[in-house]
Chain A
Amino acid sequence: MGSLILSQVFNAIMLACTLALIGIGFSLFFGVMDIVVFCLGDIAIASAFCILGITSLTGVYAALNGIFPMVVSNIILVICGGVFGAILVTVMYHTVVAPFEGKNINASLLSTVAAGYVIRELIGIFYPGGRDPQNFPNLLPTGYLFNNTMLSWRNIIIVGTTVLVLMLLYWFVNRTKAGISIQALSQNKEASIMIGIDWHKMVIVTFLIGGFLLGIAGFLTASYASTLRFDTGSMYGLLGFSVAVVGGLGSIYGALAGSLVIAFVEVFVTGFIPGGAAYSGVAGFLIVVLFIIFRPEGIIGEKSISKV
């Protein structure tokens, strides 16, 4: 029984890692711009499709492998996915977010939901066989550490990457000028602009970083599932938004805490309640509803929403 619980804890941590990065994406955009971009899940999935597309172009992938060792070429691929995510997010910003800035939030909410549909359907229509589930290539090393099936190299790398990205983000937000400007903007936009922070530049920087994060999130999720479906983006995005809210919208560590909560609930309901697999989704969303009703500021409440 003990080893079973331990194994399920591992499963939950892995699930949390795939959710944490997208949750941070939601928090980042909300912190700076006070908006929720609902199509982030689709952007992450689209980035994973970009990586898949490059590997399926046999000529390009073989050439990459010819020039660089396997590890380096795989890292280049992941960076390609991140760059694609960053470009896509910037395009989204200019088409469906910027035109509605400062207006009714309902319009930007709907336009980003619609943008998610557009991204998803474009993949489904134009990617060859895009509506069928795709096998995601195994770019991470196979094999196990200490011959323990929970400690596969892939899992270790996924956790490692998530932690690394978090640390880099921490360094960026707290130690660089751009990061501190972004923090200032999220606290008081008018005052920050007055002291000479270039708001538009910072918004673009945020979107580029967020997009890169999403690209990596898409890659990690697809690698962990070893499959890729064009239509999972909306649920992935919804879970990402949920973990951001449960943790505390606007807080980077909150997103991590939130993803742990949701992942533990879902995995333990599946693993320990007989027939619970069918109810894991219900349990996860019930937690979200309860959090919003009783603790809307989240686990790590950075920003109170009670403006009254």
Chain B
Amino acid sequence: MKDTALLSAPLQVQDLTVSYGGDPVLTGADLTVPEGEMTAIIGPNGAGKSTLLKSALGLVKPLSGTITAWDQPLAAQRDRIAYVPQRASVDWDFPTTVLEVALMGLYRQLGLLRRTRPHHRDKALACLDRVGMSDLADRQIGQLSGGQQQRVFLARALAQEAELYLLDEPFAGVDAATEAAIITVLHGLRDAGKTVLCVHHDLSTVPRYFDHVCLLNRHTVAQGPTATTFTDANLMRTYDGRLPTAA
């Protein structure tokens, strides 16, 4: 059972080394994301968590290593993968609305010249509704709270109807209500057979939220089911011998 899961893994990263010009950020990192589960990448600051995620999205070019999605090159599977970037990575004073951001998720259907039709709008609105944001569809994005911004990003990913969702710190700086709303949506995706991978930093919620973990500190320290992998011993090795108090 485990072997077949590995064979058709939605995401498989092997022996990945990445550098931004200086010392490598990742050296020989491995990651296997099992189908239909919630996986977390955890590790200290500067461990290369976001870099691993961005490599898995094809946004960062690695020095060496292989990345496959469902046993195929990444580029061939792009449309089955949805990305939720870090909230802080964009300028929220950008002149656009909540609905317009959600509509970006439908870019593949809209393309260059096609007009936005009512059924596109309806779909984007339905996705906003799943994250509790449909009432604010016409609002300028600069007027949103951090949690609301995060929900809009999630709605945009939902509009893609992907099978693998990669989220970079989706719970960073959001309120408790948003965190609950997001985790409900993510667990709903998992229960519908989709696969979810999050870069995550709050160790206290790992056992409750995630089925599978990858402990990272420039290389993969351990990965596997949360129950057997998320142990004090592994965490000590990941966090350089200093266990964070939250665990």
B is a partner of A: no
Identify the A interface with B (CB < 8 A). Answer: none
Identify the B interface with A (CB < 8 A). Answer: none
